[in-house]
Chains A and B, each alone.
Chain A
Amino acid sequence: MNWRAMRAIIRRDLLGVSRSKGVLLPIIIVPLVIMVLIPLGVGLLMPILSDVPGFDMGDMDLFIAQMPEAMLAELEGLDDMQTLIVAFLVYFFAPMYLILPLMVASVIAADSFAGEKERKTLEALVYTPTTDLELFAGKLLSAWLPAGAVAIIGFVAYALSTNIGAWGTMGRVFFPNLMWIVLVLWVAPAAAGLGLSSMVLVSARANTFQEAYQIGGVVVLPIVMLMVGQAMGVVYFGAGLVAALGAVLWIIDALLIWLGVRTFQRSEIIARL
Chain B
Amino acid sequence: MPQQSVIAVENLTRRFGDTVAVDDLSLNVDQGEILGYLGHNGAGKTTTVRLLNGVLAPHHGTISVLGLDPLHDGVALRRRTGVLTETPSLDERLSARENLTLYAEMYCVPGSQVRERVQTLLETFELADRAHERVGGYSRGMKQRLAIARALIHEPELLFLDEPTSGLDPVATRQMQDLIRDFVGRGERTVFLCTHNLTEAQRLCDRVCVLERGRLVAMGAPRELAEAFAAPLRLDLEVSPGHLNLAHETLARMPGIESIELVESEAVLTITVTGREAIPALNAALVQAGAAVYRLVPHEPTLEDVYFRLHQDQPGVAEQRQRMVEA
Contact = CB atoms under 8 A, between A and B. Distances in A.
Tell me, yes or no, whether A binds B. Answer: yes
Interface of B: 16, 50, 53, 55-57, 74-79, 81, 83, 85, 87, 89-94, 98, 102-103, 105-108, 134, 147, 150
Contacts, number: 85
Contacts of A11: 102, 105
A123 B50 CA distance: 10
Nearest to B85: A123
Size band of the interface chain A makes with B? 20 to 34
Contact of A127 (B16, B55, B87, B102): B55
B108 A121 contact: no
A109 B53 CA distance: 27
A129 B79 contact: yes
Contact of B91 (A7, A121, A266): A121
B105 A5 contact: yes
Interface string A1-41: 01011011101100110011000000000000000000000
Given A5-B106, A15-B94, A121-B91, A267 B75 contact: no
Contacts of A129: 74-79, 106-108
A267 B74 CA distance: 12
Contacts of B79: 129
A16 B93 contact: yes
Nearest to A20: B93
Interface in A111-136: 119-131
A244 to B, nearest CB: 41
A267 B93 contact: no
Contact of A12 (B77, B85, B94): B94
A163 to B, nearest CB: 39
B90 A124 contact: yes
Given A16-B94, A119-B92, A267 B105 contact: no
Contacts of A123: 85, 87, 89
A267 B56 contact: yes
Nearest to A19: B93
Interface string A119-155: 1111111111111000000000000000000000000
Contacts of B90: 121, 124
